[in-house]
Chains A and B, each alone.
Chain A
């Protein structure tokens, strides 16, 4: 692994100055669980890393008028156990709880998971069904981007040079119920073969449904066809149809972990189970 310089700025001005150091490859660093393995494998070679964990607000979980604000440097273990997150967005807490293993969850951050932009990232399906907004900040000021637009492709995000993800905003969704489940080959520390998040949001007399898949397409994807079916009702036939719509929406790859065919079949089974879990929470 190549050597690099490490900085831990205490305010944004300092951070932005470092991020824009001329002639240097500069990368933000949070929990290090992606960046260090990648540097070791020499897939990246930063000259400078900027630890963003001490920047103001980065580690906060806070209720605001607009919803729940989660700082980018909040750790998976905090997400998984935070009463606020569990109340607002249990589906995200469940997603966070499936990441890696205890040691990884004690370091890995929400922002790191999002900025790494792995199609198998376990927080994305939940963020997608919650319709979260990614909050970005740079020397030019702040902007927000829907999470669905933040993730642009494998390892590609909406972040511009010198820009940081500072957090996500989860809208208030009174009475919503959701669930995330992941299929992997081993019970811990294993990448997701199929990840499914579903959320039922009260609407009129019934529910609006949201369904998202992880690890089975170049980016995590919503499945609008399935959502439409479920909005009409969620009996056994509808669930099956929704699961088949998920099957149609995915485009997994063959790799050393499993065949594309297996992943595609499992999208159907996991989707059915996840919807079933949500329905159980509704009644």
Chain B
């Protein structure tokens, strides 16, 4: 649909300020009298901190203060579970806070009159460590007798999957039917081992912030993250202050992709300002950012799937071990989604899935666009493409025979909440775009022939994969989002202010909020302004992640607008309303069987890849990538296409050039000249965006979440195209030059 504003590509609120450089990011804020902070990172992956001697450092002229573990009132934090010390060191009441468990653990923070002095003082701190044995491979961490990296934790009711058994942080299972009863009936069984890489977010703006005491006496942190009220909560917890004493403000944010889901600079900044009652600024360098924040989880999988002769799936047995790294971060949520996606959106009568998140001394695994779905998807879609091949069946055809239709149960026992038409719609759209044709026998893949002028070393292939992912966190969590609206005027509404704590990480949420508010209020866009994200003036809109924000905040705005207009019509002047939208209820999934009703909405997507392999160099290139995404309703089609293109290219990076190397707990790809994200030159000649709009029943104007979807099936589609071009299944990626070449030489 096209409304007055919904469905229209309005210009971003921040377009001009970003293009002219006026937009201020956290590192751009300064205050008179501010101090500068530097963090002493552990830079060793596993050690007990015996002592931290700050005497010499404190004598450096200009060094104002140094804070260590002893100075943190409640020395723990964590989005899902507080298993990480704010500062690692001796002297705290809680067991285990004296141990550093990965290179990015913070040991001390230095506050000085200048950044130079802060750095110099940091280098004068003397830390005595006792190195502890390293566990960097999850299998080693699972072995009998392996040292436990954390003390025993009691766990928490709302996250029963956080089991804390030895080094097992989280456990996830599905048990449906009996896989062992059907192997013998199978026409084909595909069994594979997969190794799925980690990934670094490389948001353009590294972590930064400025803290100060505001006029109301609140410890205030201006920073960039994904959920202001959660930052506020975690700061309050660590400082042991009432939540009203903390304020968090988000200015322009230079990207996040899940990488700013967890804390970085927030607590230490607040701590320093609280203790010193002065403004303090901290900007991480890129190098600090690379070791300091979590990564996409690495995962190892064994999958054994069976089909009957008609192409109907019979059974899927899948085991996945994921590297949670040193702390939980969002591991339980990420792997929860992995469990829901690793069997695809398919009808499978017998399912057995086991997923473990394992503590190691690597950089923590955590949130990253797709939140476990990319890993799950790679396994599921690779299995499907292989099964199709094993049966001699077209890969589109096998999917159409297996995807769930309205009412079919998913492996967790409940159907998808809508009719899931987007699965077939996106699949067919991509297939047609790549040259698939349907005849009486069903869908047929295009014949891929060499083109005139192709050198002998060039091979061509096409491939595709589809994907599904939940919108929102859910698993029983009551998803909620707050919005406020103020209407000014006398006879007519002259101005409307919208309040929402939605984090504009670059995706344009504030622009979309404005469009939705103008639509809901029936006002011209120019009359609507969107207030900044600031805990002092807004309620919580929840995290800007899990593809949830447009869905959630759109519903909240609709609720607030309805209420505001009623008040206006009843004569109130000015009008000021608040509304908290509660998404449909969900349940946890059973820890033994995986049964439950974990989510209220899903997104559907298919990716197609046309690929060239230079078989002498191992180099891949992509004449075309195509993404069809069922977004329900595009609120702003141009912003949405930007999200699709960005997601596809980020997926391309994960699949091809981004090789994250950690060895013995050290990050070896610790610069952007060794960790290679795609440049503009690496973008395929054509990235085709196909927007499909099957309205989401509960979505605002029918919109459903989409931010993560275009990323999810990219790697699997490329693997499929690579198979077509080379005859090889590469079950480990990224598909670097060298890995591709080794495969061609028979060393897969």
Contacts and interface: CB of A to CB of B under 8 A. Distances in A.
A6 interface: no
A256 B663 CA distance: 11
For A183, A185, A190, A257, the residue with the greatest tally of chain B CB atoms inside 10 Å of its CB is A185
Nearest to B455: A273
A191 B675 CA distance: 12
A191 B678 contact: no
Contacts of B616: 269
Interface in B707-748: 736-738, 741
A257 B679 contact: no
B738 A190 contact: no
Contact of A185 (B657, B661, B680): B657
Interface string A239-267: 00000000000000000111100100110
A189 B657 CA distance: 13
B682 A187 contact: yes
B737 A187 contact: no
B617 interface: yes
B681 interface: yes
Given A256-B668, A262-B737, A269-B616, A186 B674 contact: no
B673 A188 contact: no
B669 A256 contact: yes
Contacts of B679: 101, 186-189
Given A256-B661, A259-B738, A187 B681 contact: yes
B737 A190 contact: no
Nearest to A3: B116
B657 A186 contact: yes
A56 B678 CA distance: 40
B737 A188 contact: no
Counting chain A residues whose Cβ lies within 8 A of the other chain, the interface size class is 10 to 19
Contacts of B657: 185-186
Contacts of B668: 256
A195 to B, nearest CB: 14
Contact of B678 (A186, A259, A266, A270): A186
A186 B741 CA distance: 15
A183 B682 contact: no
Interface in B675-720: 676, 678-682
A258 B657 CA distance: 12
A256 B674 contact: yes
B673 A262 contact: no
Contact of B676 (A185, A259, A262, A270): A185
Nearest to B675: A256
A186 B617 contact: no
A185 B668 CA distance: 17
Interface string B128-165: 00000000000000000000000000000000000000
Contacts of A101: 679, 681
Main SS class of interface, B: loop
Contacts of A189: 673, 679
Interface in A7-61: none
Given A186-B657, A269-B617, A191 B673 contact: yes
Given A256-B661, A256-B668, A190 B676 contact: yes
Interface in B636-672: 657, 661, 668-669
Contacts of A188: 679-682
A256 B737 CA distance: 13
A47 to B, nearest CB: 15
A186 B657 CA distance: 7
Given A101-B679, A187-B679, A258 B673 contact: no
Nearest to A191: B673
Contacts of A257: 674
B232 to A, nearest CB: 34
Contacts of A262: 737-738, 741
A248 to B, nearest CB: 19
A189 B741 CA distance: 22
A187 B669 CA distance: 18
Nearest to B679: A188
A256 B667 CA distance: 11
Nearest to A1: B116
A183 B680 CA distance: 18
Contacts of A256: 661, 668-669, 674
A262 B747 CA distance: 13
Contacts of A265: 741
A277 B517 CA distance: 60
A154 to B, nearest CB: 16
B718 to A, nearest CB: 16
A269 B738 CA distance: 14
Nearest to B742: A262
Contact of B738 (A186, A187, A258, A270): A258
A189 B678 CA distance: 10
A64 to B, nearest CB: 36
B263 to A, nearest CB: 27
Interface in B580-633: 616-617, 619
A189 B679 CA distance: 8
A186 B673 contact: no
B617 A183 contact: yes
B736 A185 contact: yes
A265 B679 CA distance: 26
A21 B674 CA distance: 37
A232 to B, nearest CB: 25
A190 B673 CA distance: 7
Given A256-B669, A258-B738, A186 B682 contact: yes
A181 B319 CA distance: 45
Interface in A164-205: 183, 185-191
Nearest to A101: B679
A269 B745 CA distance: 14
A269 B737 CA distance: 13
Interface in A68-111: 101
B655 to A, nearest CB: 13
Interface of A: 101, 183, 185-191, 256-259, 262, 265-266, 269-270
15 contacts: A101-B681, A183-B619, A185-B737, A187-B679, A187-B681, A187-B682, A188-B680, A188-B681, A188-B682, A189-B679, A256-B661, A256-B674, A258-B738, A259-B738, A262-B737
Interface of B: 616-617, 619, 657, 661, 668-669, 673-674, 676, 678-682, 736-738, 741
Given A101-B681, A186-B682, 10 more contacts: A101-B679, A185-B676, A186-B678, A187-B679, A187-B682, A188-B680, A188-B682, A189-B673, A189-B679, A256-B669
